[in-house]
Amino acid sequence: MRKGWLVERWAPLPTHTREFIAMGLCYHAKPAAEHSLSPTDCEALNVAAADPDRLFDYPDFCFREYFVVTLGRIPA
């Protein structure tokens, strides 16, 4: 059995959500070039990580996450 759900977070973001997403931006900006992202994408990610508030303060900002839970049984 598999279940999935989408979570959307729209501006304005609460403080804890801003901190969580900013941490993710910083984390992913570092190895981006090592994983064949284009130079343009790497630059955009670095700019967003350097000043996440600029991104978060945009009125149409939306962050989406998709979660999947899979359950299975191993036959005895």
Q: Would you write out the chain's pLDDT as a tens digit for each of its 76 residues?
A: 899 999 999 999 999 999 999 999 999 999 988 898 999 999 999 999 999 999 999 999 999 999 999 998 888 8
Full-prediction pTM beyond 0.85? no
**Single-letter amino acid, residue 54:** R
12 in helix, strand or coil?
coil
CA gap 55, 45 in Å, rounded: 11
23 in helix, strand or coil?
helix
CA gap 64, 23 in Å, rounded: 15
